[in-house]
Amino acid sequence: MQNITIFGATGSIGDSTLDIVRRHPDRFRVYALSAQRRMKKLAELALAFAAKVIIVPDVEAVDAFREHWPADHALPEIRLGERGLCETARDPETDCVVAAIVGIAGLASAFEAAQAGKRILLANKEALVAAGELFMHTVQAHDAQLLPVDSEHNAIFQCLQDGRQSQHIRRIVLTASGGPFRNTPLHELETVTPAQACRHPNWSMGQKISVDSATMLNKGLEVIEAHYLFGLPAGQIDVVIHPESTVHSMVEFIDGSLLAQLGNTDMRIPISYVMGYPERIESNTPAFDLSKLHQLNFSVPDYQRFPCLRLAFDALAAGQAQCIALNAANEIAVAHFLQGRLRFPQIAQVIERALDWQSGQSGNIAHIDDVFQLDRQVRERATAFLPASV
């Protein structure tokens, strides 16, 4: 029986994770759940899964949570903010942490889980982008276990036979759907709306990652994530556009063999893999319908259409500080785009300016506090780079 703590329990990854928990009451017990907003949903989940602990941002959220809690049930223990998340990450009752908070906000608690030597199911790719070297080092030093939830990395992890084939890689190939604007005339990108950007053709996900998929910065973040997870240089990480999203990623080995993992676009598949690991467990997803699979298409991404992907490769080549800047500037830009205060092509422009600014600074990242400090500085800068009006 594993005690599971889910950070970001009310989100899209949280939903899929809890669906697996629900189907395996003999294997998993929910220990703690966190959310930033949507206290009604958090209360329903905490009740349904009998969570012992919940983590909410502040006292207002506590009040909102209590409002939705039935009077005849004992309240779970309530912890607050990042301190509460970190306390729960190292809590002896937590066996396994699902890191599913979106953005840099998820780094501190995931890092704490690594320091506490926990089993970490990592969805929060931003943590590895911003602190990859420190994170991987901490996982090793504290004998933590890091298992990738992100479907591409999960696919690669499976193809590598859980890392046992890592030394024989020629390259890995990350597949990308190309998002909702793969074929949109370039001039129309100027006027696309947040709703259009969030309408992903193949996956249903949170808003931020949906916009990242539309700019393809998501694939850029995943290239950096793969670099740290699998210890590969950028030159051995390729990206191809694969609109069907059936092949979730591939590994080419030194002998020329190419292994791929295929399946439906349902995050319960990679999540069940890491939850059950090293065993496979039932995900209760429908069987893959091969009769509907007429063709698999692959093409090279166009950097003119997807400048964010090029920026990510450049940041990786330049080092950790540029990766922090890439992520921070993107979080600011995407938040403003979602609020209708930035046009879609301006996301790449804000990131590029932030990267230029950072390249003129000293970029020594030796401690996790250096990551947070640079992240804060870049956010301030990126905010200053935003246009006054759209």
* Site map (CB under 6 A) of ligand NAD, residues 87-106, x = contact: -------------xxx--x-
Q: Please work out the total of residues on this chain that contact ligand NAD, with binding judged by CB under 6 A.
A: 24
> Which member of 5, 10, 177, 346 binds ligand NAD (CB under 6 A)?
10
Give 57 or 243: the residue with its C-beta nearer to ligand NAD: 57
Residues 247-286 that bind ligand NAD (CB under 6 A): 267
126 is in an annotated binding site: yes
Task: Please return the burial class of 375, using the count of CB atoms within 10 Å of its CB with bins 0-12, 13-18 and 19+.
Answer: buried
Least distance between ligand NAD and beta carbon 154 (Å): 9
Whether the upstream peptide bond of residue 70 has omega within 30° of 0, thus cis, is: no
Residue 215, interface with ligand NAD (CB under 6 A)?
Answer: no
Cα(345)–Cα(274) distance, rounded to whole angstroms? 36
> Does 191 show up as a binding residue in the annotation?
no
127, 194, 340 from 104: Cα distances, Å = 6, 21, 22
Residue 128 near ligand NAD by CB under 6 A: no
13 is in an annotated binding site: yes
> DSSP characters for 325-374?
HHHHHHHHHHHHHHTTSS-HHHHHHHHHHHHHHHHTS-----SHHHHHHH
Interacting residues with ligand NAD between 144 and 163 (CB under 6 A): 150
Is 297 a known ligand-binding residue? Answer: no
**Strand blocks (E) in the chain:** 2-7, 28-34, 53-56, 77-80, 96-99, 119-122, 145-148, 169-176, 237-241, 247-253, 258-262
For 281, which DSSP code? -
State the DSSP H helix or E strand holding residue 234, giving kind and residue range, or none if neither. none
Which lies closer to Mg ion via its Cβ, residue 95 or residue 244? 244
Q: Which is nearer to ligand NAD, 84 or 301 (CB)?
A: 84
- Neighbouring residues of 3: CB distance < 8 A, sequence distance ≥ 6: 29, 30, 31, 93, 94, 95, 96
Per-residue tokens: 31: 């220990």
Alpha-carbon gap, residue 78 to 53, rounded angstroms: 6
**Of 150 and 266, which has the nearer Cβ to Mg ion?**
150
212 touching Mg ion, by CB under 5 A? no
> Residue 44: CB partners within 8 Å, gap ≥ 6?
68
Instruction: Compare residues 150 and 375 and give the one whose CB is closer to Mg ion.
Output: 150
Virtual torsion, Cα 187, 194, 358, 229, nearest 10 deg: -110
| Nearer Cβ to ligand NAD (40/353) | 40
Q: Which of 61, 114, 205, 240 binds ligand NAD (CB under 6 A)?
A: 205
Annotated ligand binding at 60? The verdict is no
Interaction partner, residue 206 (Mg ion, ligand NAD, none; CB < 5-8 Å by kind): ligand NAD
Interaction residues for Mg ion, span 133-162 (CB under 5 A) = 150-152
Q: Which does 203 bind (CB under 5 to 8 A by kind): Mg ion, ligand NAD, none?
A: ligand NAD
Q: Out of 78, 87, 192, 203, which residue is the one contacting ligand NAD (CB under 6 A)?
A: 203
* Rounded distance between C-alpha atoms, residue 153 and residue 166, angstroms: 13
Interaction site with ligand NAD (CB under 6 A): 8-14, 35-37, 100-102, 105, 123-126, 150, 203, 205-206, 209, 267
Interaction site with Mg ion (CB under 5 A): 150-152
